[in-house]
Structure 1
Amino acid sequence: MDTVQPVSGNRNDELAHEAPSLCIVVPCYNEEEVLGETASRLKALVFDLSARGQVRACRILFVDDGSIDETWRIVCELHERDPLFTGLKLSRNRGHQNALLAGLMYAKDRFDAVISLDADLQDDIDIIPDMLAGYRGGSDIVYAVRESRETDSFAKRTFSQLYYKVMEKLGSDVLYNHADYRLMSKRALSALSEFDEVNLFLRGLVRLVGYPSSVVYYKRAERFAGTSKYPLGKMLSFAFEGISSFSTKPLKFVTLLGGGVSALSLVLFVYFIVQYALGNTVAGWPSLIVSVWFLGGLMLLSLGIVGQYVGKIYLEVKHRPRYIVEDVAE
């Protein structure tokens, strides 16, 4: 059995030793193939938690992130058959992070604790009792962390490990091998709601909340149906979102790179002058073409990095809503 490992302090909360009301938030995008099985497994888990007195009330909240399949129809049918299931439908696809935030903000004033997890249930739901134990032990946030990445492909495993190392080098406080499977108390969710940025990277924002936390480890399973909604392109985009949201070091890197190229250019200029003075003919075309292509590529790279930050500022100052709820099944 996985154990809860305290990270810091005790939560000063009158509910710390009582069975909490719980909401399980499940973001969904085109998940018609898995929703039936997911609902069945979660329902069995909730009944077991209630029977053991670990929760006093519970709801399972599916957040439809603008799906174009039958996801919302299935959510509505689940709700009609059993009020245990509730649903939010966003007006359009806003991405996993916004859908997750919509569910968290909906649940924060209605429940003592909220657990978020993906619809494919690759994350082990059997550790939820341990997460609740962490909550009752005083943790406002309980992080579910993967023990290993044995079930990932070699490319995905290598990319993930590299990503976490880069984030660490850039000074970002991101928990290694933790995604968005976590428990948060009402107090922690209230603190999270004070962060109003549009460019969301929740696994970084939650760390900034800073309340007492603990960690539970688990093994990730294979997806039992459907396909992943995070191909390589989205993974790369999400990775840069995390880096640019919590670190300005890429901008400093551009500055240092520009200074280094300028210094190199000065050294080469002195070298060519000396060679000319010694009567040596310096071949022009090869060195010129290489220099032009190198500097051109360097400038485009630098402009691209700066442009990403400017684009994020542009989105932030507009203060557009991060999501719009179209329908609610409750």
Structure 2
Amino acid sequence: MNSIISKEKAAAMEKEAKELMKKAKGLTAPSLLELRFKPDWEGASPMLDKAALLFKQLGNIDKALEAYERAAHAQERLGSQWHAAKHYEVIADLSRQQNRPKDTAKYYKIAGDYYMECGKPTAAGEVLARGARVLEDVDPEEAERLYYDSLDVYESSEREAYAVDAFRAAIAFLLRRERWADAVEVLMRFGAISDKVGATNTQNKSYLGAVVTWLWAGDAEAAWSTFQDAMAVDSFANSNEAFAADALFEAYRSKNEEAISSLVKSKAIFKQLDHQVARLATRLPSPASKVRRMGRKLRHLMAEPEEEEYDGEEGGGFDGGEGGDGRDRGEDGLL
């Protein structure tokens, strides 16, 4: 209970709230005595709204939840999906306060659905992303579902211009969870929607971020494939981000960890990526990745036809590093 409210005031508020709930219940039930043959939702709705607010102010979350759910139902019956959505947002937040993540996710999703029903997709996308953010630490799986629902709403309703914050939050969340493939997929989607709204700088940073993510994950082939896909976009192919990515591949192809580290530290463009992506970029190469193996893979993928006829090093079919002594075989095995 709010410590500012005196006991007498609290008792009066609780009494009023209970009376309002009782009156509202009566109005929603048919009564021959009062010649009411169908529920009076219009009369009951403001009573339920006030009762819900009073219970919330008193800190009686269980009663507040009950009142808000009935208030939301009343708004649904009145055909006011907007007000129903607002009530479900409050219910979601109260569920969060009660440490009920599944209910929190459920009610944020319901709120989003009602915003969609009343033709407010931007509000739907925002509420779904907000729900995802509050659930990131307590229920990551539900948070991920809500993020994807939010992105889908923005894209399907062609509200891409309003989706920037949701995309960035989703990407950061997936990277923190080390969901590399999913993060790259969302980065590429972010690049595509940025192209639609003319945000070329954001698009180019998204594609460079996708390359960085795969390299951090140690998947040189996926990084190169992603880069080739991005190079099909003219605005990226001629960008500083594309040149930075190309230089990064060359550094990896050299199999020299120091060269990779020096490159990312020398180019400000890597620090200008969105925060979570920039954190990976400026720490390349990843301690967990096998740089020598990645370098060999990239040498093959990046080779011109005449280079493929000759593997670029003397000494046969094994890569023995700069000295050709075969020391890398124990780490990585066959080419």
| Higher-strand-fraction structure | 1
- TM-score between the two structures when normalised by the length of structure 1: 0.27
Greater length-normalized contact order (CA 8 Å, ≥ 6 residues apart):
1
- TM-score between the two structures when normalised by the length of structure 2: 0.26
Larger Rg: 2
| Higher-helix-fraction structure | 2
